Each structure stands twice: as C-alpha cells, then as structure tokens.
Chains A and B, each alone.
Chain A
C-alpha cells in the first residue's frame, strides 16, 4: 500500500514540474510584450526597457523560470500587470466562487447519476431503462447555456426564488451566496450527471454478469440488495475516473455558465487576463488549475485502492 501511495505521489510531483515548464514556455513563446502593454502606446523605448528590467523580463529564461516557480511554491504569484495588485488576491476572490460552485455541481451530478445508473442497470433492456437512458441522452445533448437560460426564466424571472445572476459575496451571508450559486450549479451538473449515469449503468451491467453476483444471489439476497452491496462497489472504478475528469472540467471550464450568470469565477479571470495580455495572471491561474487537476487525479488513484483491495497489495 505504501509503495502504491509513494509511487502515485512521485508521479504527481513529476507531472506538476513538467506542466509548469510547459505553461511557462508556451507563454514565453506567444507574442506580445507585457511591459509595452502596461505603459500604453505612447511610452518611449527607454521607459519600456526600464520597466522590463524592473519586471525582470530581461533575465535569462532559466533564471526567470526558477524565480517564477520558486514564487509559486511560497504562494507569491507576483503582481498583475493590468490591475497592479498581487495575483494571489485576484485568485483568492475568484476561488471562493469557483470552488464551491464546482463542488456543488459535482455533488448534484453524483446524487442524480448514481441512483439513475442503478435504476437503469437493474432494469436493463426494459422500459424504465430505455426511458432513463433516453433522458440521459437528452441531458448530454442540450447545451448548458440554453438550459441555464431556461432555469433563469423559470426560477428567477417567473418564480422569483433566486437571483438571476451576480454574486453578493460570502460576506453577505452564506444563504444569499449559496442561493446565487444554485442555478449555475444545476446548469453545470445536468450534462455531467447524464454522462455519469450512462457510465454507471454500463459499468454496473458489466459487473452484473460476473460470477460473484450469482454467488450473492444464491445466498438469498434479493436483487436490489445485490445491486447495492455487491455490484455498485465493483462498478466504482470507471465512475471515479469520470468523476475526477468532471471535477477538473467544472473547476476550469465553466466560463460560459459564469458569463450567463455574471459570476466572478476563475474562468472569467483567465479569459480577461488573456485578452489583456496579463501573462502573469494567466500563468498563475493555469498553474493553479493544473495543480488542482493533478491533486484530483491523485485522489482518484488513491480512491481506486480504497475501492479495490487488489490494488492495495499489488502495488
């Protein structure tokens, strides 16, 4: 078990270092001089050169990488070129929106998908299964921004239960803040739930053909108990894999939904930073997301070992 754990940890660290190199290199290559951008079109060449020196842009590449990476480790991401505030402050503001949103969406998706998957697999090939999987197909096909607009129309405009957009901040109280995250979370969760339900169902159907399911039935367990006690845990590996991928997507890939609901999330921060050539913000946020994705993958790998004892002993 310890060997398995250490191996995974080592792989995660190596991936993180390689990813940081790639992120740094790519942003070095793309055109656009941040110093010139900050000073505007009228700045003289001397002024630009001065700022470049101040910002350390003239130092050798390797040195700048080490400086940047060292900063990341101490959570010093540098200052934003456009806003002239520490990047960490910008990121902190946005993470408190994006992270809860992603977590709520993920929880919703799981709560919907697993029971639907169990229901469908238990009725494999019968009417209930067909209907549930038809609905799931629809869930995958419907664009989430359109679905988001329908939700706004129904719950915000018509029923007036929740705000139609914006984020009051956690300082306004937990409930108002949560209220403004509910609709975007639903809009994000639905397509994810549809995918996850299909994965759960097919994993379960495969497991239900295994010999040990027959053994469990021969013990006298009713089918439903067999499904929950024996089939579900064995079907968890593909489900966990998809969950890990979905969390990464929900954390970073929510820009459309953030725009629809006018939420100040990470996605919008990156988008704005890119349009403004605010390279340091882009680098920092991308690195943060990379780290989050790697951490989630590590978590998924470890959860495999929790689910399947064979992975624990086999390294």
Chain B
C-alpha cells in the first residue's frame, strides 16, 4: 500500500498551466526521488501535498495520503496533518527559521501544537530531537537563536522541526542545494537514518541526479510539469531509455573538450624548453603570503577580541591562459581570497602582483589598468544585473576602465562582438535582462567579463545556480573562450565536477590556508590532505552512485 498516491494531478496558477497529469507514489520507508530542472514543477508538487499552494492555484486530480483525500480535505484537517504526519524540509536553511525565536521554541512549537503537551514536556522532546539530528545540548542549548548557527546546523534544526513528531512522510525540497558537499553528505546520511529508524517515506526533490541516485529507491523525472519517466533508480539511469533521462544524465557528467596545451608544457620541462612559446610564460598572477584578518566579536568592553583569520599566509601563482580551481567548504576563505585578487578588498599583509605590477595598497586610479585585464563572473545571473538597463549598457559597463573612451559606434561594435562570442545575437543588445533565461543571463555576464579582453577572469560559483543542461553549455563556453582568447581562469567552486570539467589545476583551501595544490585529475583522484579527501569522498558522483546501486541489487 502506498503512503502517498498522486494520480493525474494537474495544476494551474491563473491561466498558466504548471503541472499536467502527474503520477507519483511513495511507500512507507521508501525514498522517492523527484528530479527535474528549474520550473519543472517539483516544488509545486511538494506544496500540493502540503496544500501550501499560492492563493490563485487550482489543482485537479487525486492526491491521497494515508487514506485522506488531500485536495478535498478541510483546512483544519490539513493543519492536523502538516507537521504531524507530513513533515517538510526546505532548500534555504539560512532563511527557513524565524530569526526572533530560539531554536528550542521553534522545535517545541509543533510538538505542543499537535500533542497539547506541556511546555516542559515539549521542550524535553525538542531537546531529544535536536540531540538526534546532531546538535548536542552542550554546544546547542534550546536557547540558541538561528543567527548563532551555521547553514548546515540550521538545516539540522529544520529537519528536527519536520521530524519531531515522527511523520509518516517527509518531503525534502532541495535540502542540501545550499550547502557544501561535506555538509550535504552529512545531511543526506541523517535523512537516510531517519527513514530507516521510523519507517518514514521520503520524497526527495532535487535537480542533482547524483544526489538522488545515491538516495532514492525509485525516481520520477519531471519536465515542464509532466512526468517523463519513472521507475527503479538504478535501472532507469543505467538503461536511460527515455531521451530526456539520457540528456539529463549526460549533462550531469559533461566534460568540455579542451586541448590541454598549457598543462603539457608545464609538466614536461623538456617540451617547455623546446617550445619557446611556452617559455615566455611569466606568471600572470602572483600571490605572496597573503593574510586577511577581520576584527572579531567583542565579548567584553575591556578586552579586545581576537581577530578572525579569513585567509592565512596564502601564496600561489597563475600562468597566462591557465585555468585554476579554488575549492573548499563554505566559510574556508575562498571568496575573501577572490575579493582580494580582484582588489575589491585589501589584505592585512602580503602582496598580490598582477602582470608584474603590485596591486595591493593601490588607489582606484592606479588600479585602472589592472581592472581592465581582470574581470569577474558571479554566481547569481539574476542578481547581478540592473533590471532597468538595456543589455548594451550592462555589457559595456567595464569599458569605463579603458584608457580611451570608445565612441558610441565603437561601443556598439564591441558589445556586438562580445555577445557573438558568448553565443548570443548582437540583436539582443537592445533587450532588457528579464527577457533572457537564467543560462542566457549567465552568458551576458560572461560577455560583460570578456568585453575588455581581460587576461584573467575570476568566476565565483559561475554555474551552481544553473540547471545541468545549461550548466554543460556554460562550461563549454568557458572552455571555448579559454582556448580562443587565452584568458586564464580562477574558478571558485565547491563543486568538484565543475573543477574536473574545466580546470588544469586545483587548489584546496581549508580554514584560510591552501592545503593542497596539484593537477586537477591528480588531486581529485588521489587527494593527499585530509580536507581534500573529505571533499572528494563527500562529492556525489553519478557514475559511482549508479554502479553502487547496480551492485547492491546484484
């Protein structure tokens, strides 16, 4: 008997159809993976089960949970189900908790509401639940506030809230997408254990095929609000019968074709000597014993707080045209390091040399030439454009660092060229950012980055907000521009598949220090340091996950 049975579920918001004839079921102690790209209707499906839909949504079909017809249930019935028999975990742990209530209050609230337990009893149960999710009372008393916890810890609190009353069904909507790989692995382990302990059904929603493959017994693949394929995870992904399933799987494992001339030269001194072209390579960027301290939080009026050391004595260099990944867990200092490389933040000590010029401690005017040769691509293609400006102006933004101001015609010419290079049409120049999709917008930010013909592009998680198929295209674009323009990259990412796909070298950062550096394939296949090993072990890998599933099933 299924715990949750969704039959022919169709849903529209206003006149826009969102779901069409969705079928899905979850059995007790089963993990069902719901996979799809953004806008495919995964979250709306989950919210339908919770009946927490937007006001204007209209659903038809049948959703039966434990014998209760969800679509026909009264609001009171739904309130009794939510938080008691059905728990839900959301994507963004940083904002999922009420900032003005303690974690104890927030976990105990649902318990008190549903069981009418006394405050003391409810707090007792909340305490046990927090212990269970890995937040022991010594370090995490009930009186802690959410802002005193990290993202991973907050997600544990959210899981404690959702599982406090041992629900029959847990819905987890991208529960680990905002976390780094090590935390992701921990949270997934926790979810797996909770499923096993309580015979709980888990509906795991994710865009990440590898995560779902590791977790789910069966998967349902959703696209544009319709189920493309559903079935046993291992079989579905190993056979890849449906073209869309194959497309998704291939995109997840995509590696852009790159000629690795640079690497060959570096690894082979004889070849380097023989080829004068490779010999001229003086480092493009040289970072020498860079340190950045932030003032710590003051505990008393009299004592000065110890500084927080974000980056500690970091040295490295990047050659022209080289593509280097900077990987590490969240909070390890990689973004601080990137900000200093871009001269957006000054170091506490140490120097950065770019094209043989020291750029640390320089004024804005002195930095102008360096800025021209150094550009940046950010993670969020939605947030990094002014919505009221046309593409021409947005892409032309960095041109003000040029020595000579281009004429209007020259400017349009340059923008057209940059757009062409990133695979957009020069005609797109007169559009506004909202007229583009997420992937196209990331192309726009790449166009903006290359318009000044930079020698170095710093890319901060440039593909982590994108769907797998779009991500593959953008990675291809990065690879192509690397070849064509000879631009060097510093890729900041916590996603090892990205590092593997597109970089020659990897630097592993941990607690503000670079603990390992080497050829990408060497570091990722044979990590030496503990932090690197932890990252590699935790990273979900589709090949490995499928192989393991098949092996388990014989």
| Complex Cα–Cα for A198 and B82 (A) | 32
Q: Which residues of B contact A30 (CB under 8 A)?
A: none
| Complex Cα–Cα for A272 and B386 (A) | 55
Interface bits A160-190 vs B (CB < 8 Å: 1, else 0): 0000000000000000000000000000000
Residue of A nearest to B88 (CB): A218
| Complex Cα–Cα for A225 and B83 (A) | 14
Does A211 have its Cβ within 8 Å of any Cβ on chain B?
A: yes
Q: Which of B89-97, B197-205, B472-480 contacts A (4 or more CB under 8 A)?
A: B89-97
| Complex Cα–Cα for A94 and B311 (A) | 63
Q: Which of B90, B145, B161, B301 is close to A219, meaning CB atoms less than 8 Å apart?
A: B161
Q: Which of B107-115, B374-382, B428-436 contacts A (4 or more CB under 8 A)?
A: B107-115
SS class of chain B's interface: helix, strand, loop or mixed? mixed
| Complex Cα–Cα for A222 and B77 (A) | 10
Interface bits B78-121 vs A (CB < 8 Å: 1, else 0): 01111110011010100111111100001001100110000000
Interface bits A277-315 vs B (CB < 8 Å: 1, else 0): 000000000000000000000000000000111100101
Q: Which of A6, A212, A216, A220 is close to B99, meaning CB atoms less than 8 Å apart?
A: A212
Does A233 have its Cβ within 8 Å of any Cβ on chain B?
A: yes
Are A217 and B82 neighbours in the complex by a CB distance under 8 Å? yes
Does A241 have its Cβ within 8 Å of any Cβ on chain B?
A: no
Are B95 and A210 neighbours in the complex by a CB distance under 8 Å? yes
Does B158 have its Cβ within 8 Å of any Cβ on chain A?
A: yes
Are A220 and B113 neighbours in the complex by a CB distance under 8 Å? yes
Does B298 have its Cβ within 8 Å of any Cβ on chain A?
A: yes
| Complex Cα–Cα for A6 and B300 (A) | 12
Interface bits A33-67 vs B (CB < 8 Å: 1, else 0): 00000000000000000000000000000000000
Are A215 and B158 neighbours in the complex by a CB distance under 8 Å? yes
Q: Which of B100, B114, B162 is close to A218, meaning CB atoms less than 8 Å apart?
A: B162
Q: Which residues of B contact A308 (CB under 8 A)?
A: 99-100
Does B75 have its Cβ within 8 Å of any Cβ on chain A?
A: yes
Known A212-B98, A216-B98, A219-B82: A2·B92 in contact at CB below 8 Å: no
| Complex Cα–Cα for A219 and B82 (A) | 6
Does B148 have its Cβ within 8 Å of any Cβ on chain A?
A: yes
Q: Which of B82, B90, B106, B145 is close to A220, meaning CB atoms less than 8 Å apart?
A: B82
Q: Which of B75, B84, B87, B109 has most A Cβ within 10 Å?
A: B109
Within 8 A of B (CB), among A6-36: 6
Are B92 and A211 neighbours in the complex by a CB distance under 8 Å? yes
Are B109 and A218 neighbours in the complex by a CB distance under 8 Å? no
Does A3 have its Cβ within 8 Å of any Cβ on chain B?
A: yes
Known A3-B298, A3-B301, A211-B90: A219·B113 in contact at CB below 8 Å: yes
Are B145 and A309 neighbours in the complex by a CB distance under 8 Å? yes
Within 8 A of B (CB), among A180-227: 210-212, 214-222, 225
Q: Which residues of A contact B79 (CB under 8 A)?
A: 220-222
Q: Which residues of A contact B92 (CB under 8 A)?
A: 211
Shortest CB–CB separation between residue A217 and chain B, in angstroms?
A: 6
Does B52 have its Cβ within 8 Å of any Cβ on chain A?
A: yes
Q: Which residues of A contact B339 (CB under 8 A)?
A: none
Tally the A-B contacts, defined by beta carbons under 8 Å. 83
Are A214 and B145 neighbours in the complex by a CB distance under 8 Å? no
Q: Which residues of B contact A310 (CB under 8 A)?
A: 99, 145, 147
| Complex Cα–Cα for A313 and B298 (A) | 10
| Complex Cα–Cα for A315 and B96 (A) | 24
Shortest CB–CB separation between residue B451 and chain A, in angstroms?
A: 36
SS class of chain A's interface: helix, strand, loop or mixed? helix
Shortest CB–CB separation between residue B156 and chain A, in angstroms?
A: 14
Residue of A nearest to B102 (CB): A309
Does B50 have its Cβ within 8 Å of any Cβ on chain A?
A: yes
Does A234 have its Cβ within 8 Å of any Cβ on chain B?
A: yes
| Complex Cα–Cα for A211 and B178 (A) | 14
Are A215 and B161 neighbours in the complex by a CB distance under 8 Å? yes
Are B97 and A215 neighbours in the complex by a CB distance under 8 Å? yes
Q: Which of A212, A221, A230, A233 is close to B113, meaning CB atoms less than 8 Å apart?
A: A221
Known A211-B90, A309-B147: A2·B301 in contact at CB below 8 Å: yes
Are A220 and B95 neighbours in the complex by a CB distance under 8 Å? no
Are A221 and B145 neighbours in the complex by a CB distance under 8 Å? no
Within 8 A of A (CB), among B238-269: none
Q: Which residues of A contact B301 (CB under 8 A)?
A: 2-3, 6
Shortest CB–CB separation between residue B77 and chain A, in angstroms?
A: 11
Q: Which residues of A contact B97 (CB under 8 A)?
A: 212, 215
Q: Which residues of A contact B298 (CB under 8 A)?
A: 3, 315
Known A220-B110, A234-B99: A313·B147 in contact at CB below 8 Å: yes
Q: Which residues of A contact B75 (CB under 8 A)?
A: 222
Q: Which of A3, A220, A222 has most B Cβ within 10 Å?
A: A220
Residue of B nearest to A309 (CB): B145
Shortest CB–CB separation between residue A157 and chain B, in angstroms?
A: 48
Q: Which of B52, B87, B106, B297 is close to A217, meaning CB atoms less than 8 Å apart?
A: B52
Are A220 and B81 neighbours in the complex by a CB distance under 8 Å? yes
Shortest CB–CB separation between residue B108 and chain A, in angstroms?
A: 11
Within 8 A of A (CB), among B59-80: 75-76, 79-80
Are B96 and A211 neighbours in the complex by a CB distance under 8 Å? yes
Q: Which residues of B contact A212 (CB under 8 A)?
A: 95-99
Q: A217-B52, A308-B100 are in contact. List 12 more A-B contacts (CB 8 A).
A: A6-B301, A212-B96, A212-B97, A215-B106, A215-B161, A219-B109, A219-B113, A221-B109, A222-B79, A233-B100, A308-B99, A309-B145
Tell me the B residues contacting A by CB distance below 8 Å: 50, 52, 75-76, 79-84, 87-88, 90, 92, 95-101, 106, 109-110, 113-114, 145, 147-148, 158, 161-162, 297-298, 301
> Can you name 29 A-B pairs with beta carbons within 8 Å?
A3-B298, A3-B301, A210-B95, A211-B95, A212-B96, A214-B90, A215-B90, A215-B96, A215-B106, A215-B161, A216-B109, A217-B50, A219-B82, A220-B79, A220-B80, A220-B81, A220-B82, A220-B83, A220-B114, A221-B79, A221-B110, A222-B75, A222-B76, A225-B113, A229-B109, A230-B98, A309-B147, A310-B145, A315-B298
Closest 3 CB pairs of A and B: A220-B83, A219-B83, A219-B110
